[in-house]
Amino acid sequence: MAEEAILRYLEKNEQISDSGNFAAELGLDHNDVVNAIKSLHGFRYVDAQDIKRETWVLTDEGRKYAAEGSPEVQLFLAVPLEGSIPKDELQKKLAPAVFKIGCSQAGKNRWVEMGKQISRKVQHVEDKVKDLLLWVQDGHAIEKDDINSLKARKLIVQQTWKGYSVSKGPNYAPKRKKVATDLTRENLQSVNMASLFTVLVMVVLFAFHDPMVWLLILQMIFYSGVGDWKELEFKEYNFNAKGQPAEGGHLHPLLKVRKQLKDIFLQMGFEEMPTNNFVESSFWNFDVLFQPQQHPARDSHDTFFLEEPSTTRELPEAYVELVKRVHESGGYGSRGYGYDWKREEANKNLLRTHTTAVSSRMLKALAEKPFAPKKYFSIDRVFRNEAVDRTHLAEFHQIEGLVCDRGLTLGDLIGVLHDFFARLGMSKLRFKPAYNPYTEPSMEIFSYHEGLGKWVEIGNSGMFRPEMLLPMGFPEDVRVIAWGLSLERPTMILYGIDNIRDLFGHKVDLGLIKRNPICRLGMD
């Protein structure tokens, strides 16, 4: 529509000086004209130059008063010709904004007597504001001070009008040739009626005399009549066009960070522990770790105990005896807790509260073999019956590392922590004494996070107690240093996610998953 109009107009006119006036004259929508100009310009049918013009357009409020009259006139008309009207009564008759602005403007124009009673001071008024707004709306220019007063009343705003002046381009043609985006079999085979007709005429006129003419004519039919590709215009290949984004799977940010942590552990020579059992017995989750049975973490306020199966089927009896004894009366240099240890408590099934439950099983298994140093790690879900808040859900992924070897010291633990966290880009560490039932000494780990500009608690650590290791059967001088942190916290910080519920769980928006490139750990 707009295209034909432009090409037809340029057939008779040198140029279209202003696409805006052109559109207005032909009653076309200027946007359609602009799109047509852009497309014709793309195929060099026309040459187009930008022309800009600062224009004034009405704001929503301006459009309202242009339609309904200015507030001061609406107010004036609501005041009785004779006598007066109580202010609050007049207020009821008009919209709050109209009444407020109407009063100030009509007052300023000394059209009305403002007071408890409002009365007219003049018989008749002109709605100059409305007229000006309509004038501007139709694209006409108005006086500078009118512009300023309407602008001051936020009834008009300046807008840059963008249009084009257009002239014939190198490929100008009164009619646009069909643009082909692909060369199809039809294009190659379709017979062009016009040229076919011409040839037929020639046959009739000349063929009877000489068979060679036949051949020639046939060739001409073949080459000129067949295939309308000659007439077609082929769209340029836009080699910069972005291809269809390849839809593919996306790793959840948690899994991206887990992969990086796994790689770090493997690079440090750690072996992954099998964590494929969310359900654990209290024995391996707590008792083996020398966590006393009346410890607050062992009640249902912190731990999810199972209803069915509520108790574990079997425990290694001989080892249970040793654990019972160390809890009740100590040994190995410990005086134990001195309470009455209950088997039924240890039998209770629960959702593991930490992957340290897996460490206890793996260490027990290790202790049953001739001693060899070992470095283990685990990254998997743990469950805690905690209040859900911005950074805590009832389940999270715990990352745990442990080194089991003879004569290990706290210094070795600090050394391994420095090595481990340095690979996560956290080199400035501080350690704060802490308490865990199963490690002594224990330390909370802090790192100075440049991005956040503060010290962040990045984990916990300690040396497993002899009351845990010796009943397992480890030689006296074997020590196990261990540490733990969560997967969610680093992932939230790396991906700038403020609320854990946006990261994990049914509320996660997949967009976040798709949009989030891999954040390289270690790059502050």
Q: Toward ligand FB9, which CB reaches closer, 458 or 497?
A: 458
The three state secondary structure string of 459-520 is EEEEEECHHHHCCCCCCCCEEEEEEEEECHHHHHHHCCCCCHHHHCCCCCCHHHHHHCCCCC
Q: What is the smallest separation between the CB atom of 307 and ligand FB9, expressed in angstroms?
A: 24
466 contacts ligand FB9 (rule: CB under 6 A):
no
Q: Toward ligand FB9, which CB reaches closer, 10 or 443?
A: 443
Give the closest residue to 435 by CA, choosing from 463, 474, 410, 466.
463
**Residue 482 — φ and ψ, nearest 5°?**
-150, 160
Q: Toward ligand FB9, which CB reaches closer, 111 or 377?
A: 377
5 contacts ligand FB9 (rule: CB under 6 A):
no
Binding ligand FB9 (rule: CB under 6 A), the pick from 111, 486, 500, 504 is: 486
Q: What is the smallest separation between the CB atom of 303 and ligand FB9, expressed in angstroms?
A: 12
Residue of this chain nearest to ligand FB9 (CB atom): 484
Q: Toward ligand FB9, which CB reaches closer, 195 or 285?
A: 285
Binding ligand FB9 (rule: CB under 6 A), the pick from 62, 71, 227, 484 is: 484
Of the listed pieces 47-55, 169-177, 487-495, 506-514, which binds ligand FB9 according to CB under 6 A?
487-495
Q: What is the smallest separation between the CB atom of 352 and ligand FB9, expressed in angstroms?
A: 12
490 contacts ligand FB9 (rule: CB under 6 A):
yes
Q: What is the smallest separation between the CB atom of 265 and ligand FB9, expressed in angstroms?
A: 14
70 contacts ligand FB9 (rule: CB under 6 A):
no
Binding ligand FB9 (rule: CB under 6 A), the pick from 202, 493, 508, 512 is: 493
Q: Write the CB contacts of 282 (distance below 8 Å, at least 6 apart in sequence).
A: 293, 298, 345, 346, 347, 348, 349, 350
DSSP state string for 126-176? --HHHHHHHHHHTT----HHHHHHHHHTTSEEEEEEEEEEEEE-TT--SSP
Give the closest residue to 195 by CA, choosing from 166, 171, 228, 172.
228
Cα 10 to its chain centre, rounded Å, is 48
Give the closest residue to 472 by CA, choosing from 379, 394, 395, 365.
365
459 contacts ligand FB9 (rule: CB under 6 A):
yes
Of the listed pieces 133-141, 221-229, 481-489, 503-511, which binds ligand FB9 according to CB under 6 A?
481-489
Rounded Cα–Cα distance for residues 163 and 429 (Å): 62
132 contacts ligand FB9 (rule: CB under 6 A):
no
Pattern 314-353, ligand FB9, x by CB under 6 A: ----------------------------------------
Rounded Cα–Cα distance for residues 230 and 232 (Å): 6
Site for ligand FB9 in 430-449 (CB under 6 A): 436, 439, 449
Per-residue burial over 124-133, b if 16 or more Cβ lie within 10 Å, else e, is: ebebebbebb
Rounded Cα–Cα distance for residues 145 and 452 (Å): 53
Binding ligand FB9 (rule: CB under 6 A), the pick from 195, 281, 398, 516 is: 398
Which stretches of 27-124 are DSSP H helices?
30-42, 60-68, 71-78, 87-93, 96-108
Site for ligand FB9 in 261-290 (CB under 6 A): none
Interaction site with ligand FB9 (CB under 6 A) = 356, 398, 400, 436, 439, 449, 456-462, 482-486, 489-490, 493-494
